[in-house]
Every structure is written in structure tokens, then in C-alpha cells.
Amino acid sequence: MHISPIEMPQLFEQLGLDSSNLAIARFVKNHHLPAGTKLQAADFWTKSQRQFINDGLQQDADWCEVIDKLDALLRH
């Protein structure tokens, strides 16, 4: 059982991305989701990253909350 909430660095690690605060800030600054585009459909993900995000959302997994936060950040 997972007790502590999953944070953005752990999501970035799971996605195989640099998980430093600076790298996360750069990612958010350099990527944008247009209205109507689902996070998992964004063209900047690899197939495995897209699958992880999709699975996390569909299964309402522990990852769901932080995935939703990333989605919101990318709609700047």
C-alpha cells in the first residue's frame, strides 16, 4: 500500500524524464496542450510514456492525481 502522495518528480522519473525541479519547470515551459487535446495524446510523448499516462488515468491509479496536475500545468 502506498501511503505518501506521489509528487511530480516521481511522475517524471516514471516517464524516464529528468526529475529535477529545474527540468520539470523547463518541460512545463516548453510544452503546451491545446484545448481539446488529451494529455496522453500529446505529440511529445513516446509510446511507452503515452501508455503509462493512459493506464494511470484509466485505472484511477495512485498516479492519477499527479497526472491531472501535469495536465493542468501544460494548459498554460
Q: What is the CATH number of the domain that holds 50?
A: 1.10.10.1130
Residue 47 lies in a domain: yes
Nearest to 49 by CA among 36, 31, 35, 22: 31
Residue 1 lies in a domain: no
User: Sorting pLDDT into bands at 50, 70 and 90, what band is 2?
Assistant: low
Domain membership of residue 15 (yes or no) is yes
**Domain of residue 13, residue span:** 8-73
Q: Is residue 33 part of a domain?
A: yes
- CB atoms near residue 52 (< 10 Å): 20
Reported as a single tens digit per residue, the pLDDT across 23-75 is: 999 999 999 999 999 999 999 999 999 999 999 999 877 899 999 999 999 99
In a domain, 3, yes or no: no
Count how many domains the chain has: 1
